[in-house]
Structure 1
Amino acid sequence: MAQRITIDPLTRIEGHLRIDVEVAGGKVVNAWSSTQMWRGIEVILKGRDPRDAWAFTQRICGVCTTVHAIASVRAVENALGMEIPLNAQYVRNIILCAHGIHDHMVHFYHLSALDWVDIISALKADPKKTAELAQTISDWEGNSVTYFKSIKEKLQKFVERGQIGPFTNGYWGHPQMKLPPEVNLLAVAHYLTALDYQFNADKVVAILGGKNPHIQTVIVGGVGLAINPDNEATLNMERLDYIRELLLRVKEYTQKVYLNDVIAIGCLYKDWFKIGRGVTNYLAVPDLPLDTKGTKFDLPGGTIFNGDLSTYHPIKSFNDPYFRDNITETVAHSWYKDTGPRHPWQGETIPNYTDFDPNGKYSWAKAPRFKGEPMQVGPLAQVLMGIASKHEPTMKWVNYAIEKAKTLGVNLTVNDLHSTMGRHLARAIRAAVLADLALKHLDLLEKNIAKGDLEIWNEVKFPRREIKGFGFHEAPRGTLSHWVVIERGKIKNYQCVVPSTWNVSPRDEKGKKGPYEASLIDNPIVDPEKPLEVLRTIHSFDPCIACAVHVLDSKGKEIKRVKVL
């Protein structure tokens, strides 16, 4: 018999998301994804100086601040046809790499791992066996018996005092929680250690960005960060050496612990490489520019349709017409006064709330489309672009993951990445790639400074005529783009097409589901009282919105409401 269940909230960070699903025969048969909060930044920006937009757009999110700053300044620079000094490109790239690693690490350990890890089960673990297991997976020096014993003792005290804080509402003992106690203890230990290592990445962002989370140095024309190797008040060699030390720590933890933990847990939940496939059209943009014009990059971008890597079409520059001309947003099922679909430069943001109607309008999110198709964005999309383009840094860590999985008795293929667990593995692979590239770009920065080049900014001048620009960035959650129309030096129109909008998008005018909606179809639900499986698939996208999930019967009646961690 069909049941309806409400899960509220679903995500573990900010925002408001509601997901309705219909369940029959223990599987999801239909789904609706609905964001429950209007953003409105686009309206606030009208009439303002384009050079100030980066400061406002960072406030779209309290987590993804850096990414909006970079997309915003790139949009204005694109409108002006500007080139950016190499030093500024490298500084920006290091910031973006560090931010990306921090974000990926936090997502797995602190926002998603608890969908897979039973922390109460960890109390049954033998610390010696946990250490032996950890040492077979990685040679990281922190995996000692003493460390795991101390974590178990700390966890025991928390549980005995009833002070397990954010873990209180977890689905402990759920039949889908299948990890042995020793693996659960390993994951809990690394959950705590990751708090320190992600902070090292954040320090890099703060040093180069002026502060964190709302960075101050990424500005239109370059960076507001003076460089002088011999001046204590500027970015000098002492600070660069400290940044290198921080990045080396983060690299070690990312590649020896984070990636290996995801591989190990993925192998123990190998059936989840067959669940949550959904939309297999992918979009990623190139990033980490290597020149002043934005025509050469260290990360590939492009499109792939129907999961077929042979359809790979690269995006080659910051001004590529293939990206510029093929994006539209529709509001057929969104709470706005518009018909659409519209290109972002012609986009409107006129709110018109009419309550939730599964057959009509049911979300504040618009529905972005590329060439008329829904696209999945995120680390999986970029890793697939890397495989399709034979990107050496990506292939290095994809092959590592496949070989490591073999040692654990699981044969993975690229096709397995189109899944709930595949998204987690792709994110960890991307973090490993970023860890390498962060240090590469630090080397490039130091070499360029050694040549005597200290340039950080080019002057900005606005014409009186109307100009248009777009800027993109491959953010931790996927493709982010800002679109600006400028007239007489003021913002005439501004639209943000963000990663979570691509993935959370409601149906379009043709009835095509967005990635969240499509990925939930056929997801199992073993226990309707604790629909953990729904959380697993939605969390694998790393949604940056708080959400509610509704499981509906055929008549749409609510049967039970369940609060979850």
Structure 2
Amino acid sequence: MSKKITIDPVTRIEGHLRIDVEVDNDRVTNAWSSAQMFRGIETILKGKRPEDAWSYAQRFCGVCTTVHAIASIRSVENALNVQVPLNGQYLRNLMIAMHSMQDHIVHFYHLSALDWVDITSCLKADPKKTSLLAESMSDFGGHGVDDFKNVQKKLKHFVDSGRLGIFASGYWGHQAMKLSPEENLLLFSHYLTALDYQKKAAQAVAVIGGKNPHIQNLVVGGVATAVNMDNMATLNVERLSLIRKKLGEVKKFIDKVYMNDLVLLADRYREWFDIGQSVGNYIAVPEYPLDIHSKEFLIQGGIFFNGEQNIHHKILDHSDDYLINNITESSEFAWYNNPAPLHPWEGSSDPRFTGYDHDSKYTWCKAPRFKEKAIETGPVAQILAGYHTGNEFIKREIDFYNSTLSIDNSKYNSTMGRLLARGYRAKFSAETAEYFLDKLIENIAAGDSDYANPTEIPSGEYKGVGFHEAPRGMLSHFIHIKNKKIENYQAVVPSTWNASPRDENGVMGPYENSLINTQLAETEKPLEILRTIHSYDPCIACAVHAVDPDGGDIVKVKVL
């Protein structure tokens, strides 16, 4: 007998997401992904000054803020063909890489790991055995017997208080949890440690960006971060040394803790390399420009169709016509007027809420398509693009971990594959941040002190697009400038691609598609659905954890 399960809201994400599934014999047979909040910033931007767009656009989200600022400023620079000095590129790249490090640490430990780690089991763990396990995996430190006893003490005090906050709705003791008490204690202790290390990465971003979240240092043509090694009021030797220190600490955590925990999880839950397969189409754009024209990039992009392991189309830069011209968005099942597929430059965000009806309209999320295909974006897309375009670091990491876990590249189209790919991306981001810090220092030492190319917005009419390979995937901001004002603005964000509803042809988006055939152990506690949805790191809009201070339900799971 079929059942209908509704999870509303899905927590431990950014934004408000509802998931509905139909289940027959405890197996998912149909699914609907519904973004439950209207964004509207594109409408707010109409009539504003193009040079100010980035400061508005990064308010799309309170977590992935840097990425929208970067994509927005690039859209204006693309429209006006503006060059960015090398120091400006290097400083932007440094912020991008450090933000990615912070974002991936937060996702794994604080948003996703609790789908796999049973916190209540930690109190049963033997601290001595946990210490031996930890020391067999890494020499990171903080893994003594007393360290784990202290974690248990903190946890017991927290549980005894009865004020569980965001942990109150966890599926603790679920039969799909497989880690031993000692493994649970180890990963939970790293959950706490990760809070400090993600903060270090955020602080490093703020040294350059002025604050975090919502950086303050971008201008059309570069950055407003003055560079002078001898001036106490600018980015100087002391500030760069602070960045290097924090960067090194976070890199060590990623290498010696995050990746080891990820491999442990992947090994214990090996069956999840065969669960959560998505549409099999991928897209990623080049990132980290190396020249003032943004024509050369540290890592290239690519498009994959129909589950092919060979790349369909290499994307070498952000001016690729094949990329730009084949993106459309459909509102057939979204709460907007103009349901027909439109290119973002012609797109609109005119809301028309008609109530939830999965046979008609059921989400605020549009349905982006590339050449009429649903497509997944994110770390899997980027690591596959890097692998097939010859990025040595990406290829080395994938080959090493494929060998360690006895998998091949086809296994990345899965729930566990997405988690693993995000770990590679965290390592790559750390290496990249150090690379651009060195490049910045070398360039300044060579006598180049330029960090911006001051640019006035000219009269006339211009269109541009700013691409950015953000932590969650390909981000694009499309801008239409007319008479020095914004005529139209559309952002197609990674979670728009992944959380996409059905399109005018009835084709599901990646979230929906990846839930089909998922087997549930307990229909009243659909943990398996959350594991797959969280593997995408959804960012529906700006949000934090939903907490009811009066102790009421924050998540409703209805089984009908």
Task: Give the TM-score taking structure 1 as reference length.
Answer: 0.94
Q: Identify the residue that residue 496 of structure 1 maps to in structure 2.
A: 491
Q: Identify the residue that residue 549 of structure 2 maps to in structure 1.
A: none
Q: Identify the residue that residue 555 of structure 1 maps to in structure 2.
A: none
Amino acid at match of 2:141: E
Q: Identify the residue that residue 259 of structure 2 maps to in structure 1.
A: 259
Give the deviation of 1:322 after TM superposition: 1.9
Q: Identify the residue that residue 557 of structure 1 maps to in structure 2.
A: none
Contact 2:284 / 2:302 at 8 angstroms: preserved in 1?
yes
Q: Identify the residue that residue 436 of structure 2 maps to in structure 1.
A: 441
Give the deviation of 1:563 after TM superposition: 8.6
Contact 1:140 / 1:256 at 8 angstroms: preserved in 2?
yes
Q: Identify the residue that residue 329 of structure 1 maps to in structure 2.
A: 329
Contact 2:13 / 2:537 at 8 angstroms: preserved in 1?
no
Aligned residue among 464, 470, 476 for 2:465: 470
* Worse overlay, 109-118 or 146-155: 146-155
Contact 2:285 / 2:317 at 8 angstroms: preserved in 1?
no
Alpha-carbon distance in 2 for matches of 1:14, 1:444: 34
Amino acid at match of 1:209: G
2:418 is the counterpart of 1:450: no
2:273 is the counterpart of 1:282: no
Amino acid at match of 2:114: L
Amino acid at match of 1:101: M
Alpha-carbon distance in 2 for matches of 1:159, 1:45: 46
Give the deviation of 1:149 after TM superposition: 2.1
2:496 is the counterpart of 1:538: no
Q: 1:335 to 1:164 in 2, by over 3 A?
A: closer
Equivalent runs, 1:288-299 vs 2, <5 Å: 288-299=288-299
Contact 2:336 / 2:350 at 8 angstroms: preserved in 1?
yes
Aligned residue among 423, 426, 429 for 2:421: 426
SS in 2 for 1:273: helix
Contact 1:368 / 1:502 at 8 angstroms: preserved in 2?
yes
Equivalent runs, 1:208-357 vs 2, <5 Å: 208-357=208-357
Amino acid at match of 2:206: A
Equivalent runs, 1:411-422 vs 2, <5 Å: 411-422=406-417
SS in 2 for 1:201: helix
Amino acid at match of 1:326: N
Equivalent runs, 1:488-527 vs 2, <5 Å: 488-527=483-522
Contact 1:5 / 1:561 at 8 angstroms: preserved in 2?
no
Amino acid at match of 2:87: N
Give the deviation of 1:350 after TM superposition: 1.1
SS in 2 for 1:298: strand
Amino acid at match of 2:457: F
Amino acid at match of 1:422: G
SS in 1 for 2:376: coil
Structure 1 unaligned blocks of 5 or more: 406-410, 548-559
Give the deviation of 1:142 after TM superposition: 2.8
Q: Identify the residue that residue 120 of structure 1 maps to in structure 2.
A: 120
Give the deviation of 1:316 after TM superposition: 1.0
Q: Identify the residue that residue 480 of structure 1 maps to in structure 2.
A: 475
SS in 2 for 1:30: strand
Give the number of the structure with larger relative contact order, counting CA–CA contacts within 8 Å between residues 6 or more apart: 1
Q: Identify the residue that residue 546 of structure 2 maps to in structure 1.
A: none
Q: Identify the residue that residue 386 of structure 1 maps to in structure 2.
A: 386
Amino acid at match of 1:366: K
SS in 2 for 1:32: strand
Amino acid at match of 2:489: Y
Q: Identify the residue that residue 45 of structure 1 maps to in structure 2.
A: 45
Amino acid at match of 1:450: A
Alpha-carbon distance in 1 for matches of 2:536, 2:377: 9
Amino acid at match of 1:181: P
SS in 1 for 2:119: coil
Contact 1:479 / 1:499 at 8 angstroms: preserved in 2?
yes
CA deviation digits over 1:281-332, x for unaligned, max 9?
0011111111111111112211111221213421111211121111111111
SS in 2 for 1:469: strand
Amino acid at match of 1:112: S
CA deviation digits over 1:16-68, x for unaligned, max 9?
22221111021100111111211111111111100010011111111111110
Q: Identify the residue that residue 550 of structure 2 maps to in structure 1.
A: none
Q: Identify the residue that residue 5 of structure 1 maps to in structure 2.
A: 5
CA deviation digits over 1:368-403, x for unaligned, max 9?
111111110111111111122221111222233234
Alpha-carbon distance in 1 for matches of 2:112, 2:424: 16
Alpha-carbon distance in 2 for matches of 1:145, 1:291: 51
Task: Give the % identical residues.
Answer: 55
Give the deviation of 1:353 after TM superposition: 1.2
Alpha-carbon distance in 1 for matches of 2:96, 2:167: 30
Amino acid at match of 1:264: L
Q: 1:561 to 1:68 in 2, by over 3 A?
A: closer
Contact 1:424 / 1:540 at 8 angstroms: preserved in 2?
yes
Amino acid at match of 1:294: S
The size of the alignment, in residue pairs, is 547
Runs of 4+ in structure 1 over 6 Å off: none
Alpha-carbon distance in 1 for matches of 2:537, 2:36: 17
Alpha-carbon distance in 2 for matches of 1:293, 1:164: 52
Give the deviation of 1:254 after TM superposition: 0.7
Structure 2 unaligned blocks of 5 or more: 544-554
SS in 2 for 1:309: coil
Alpha-carbon distance in 1 for matches of 2:145, 2:305: 48
Contact 1:481 / 1:497 at 8 angstroms: preserved in 2?
yes
Alpha-carbon distance in 2 for matches of 1:545, 1:243: 31
Alpha-carbon distance in 2 for matches of 1:60, 1:561: 26
Alpha-carbon distance in 2 for matches of 1:402, 1:489: 51
Task: Give the TM-score taking structure 2 as reference length.
Answer: 0.95
2:102 is the counterpart of 1:107: no
Amino acid at match of 1:322: Y
Give the deviation of 1:15 after TM superposition: 1.9
Contact 1:312 / 1:385 at 8 angstroms: preserved in 2?
no
Q: Identify the residue that residue 139 of structure 1 maps to in structure 2.
A: 139
SS in 2 for 1:18: strand
Amino acid at match of 2:414: S
Give the superposed CA RMSD.
1.6
Contact 1:11 / 1:545 at 8 angstroms: preserved in 2?
no
Q: Identify the residue that residue 71 of structure 1 maps to in structure 2.
A: 71
Q: Identify the residue that residue 157 of structure 1 maps to in structure 2.
A: 157
CA deviation digits over 1:224-271, x for unaligned, max 9?
010001100000111101100110001000111111101111110001
Give the deviation of 1:561 after TM superposition: 4.6
* Worse overlay, 423-432 or 140-149: 140-149
SS in 2 for 1:4: strand
Contact 1:11 / 1:543 at 8 angstroms: preserved in 2?
no
Q: Identify the residue that residue 408 of structure 1 maps to in structure 2.
A: none
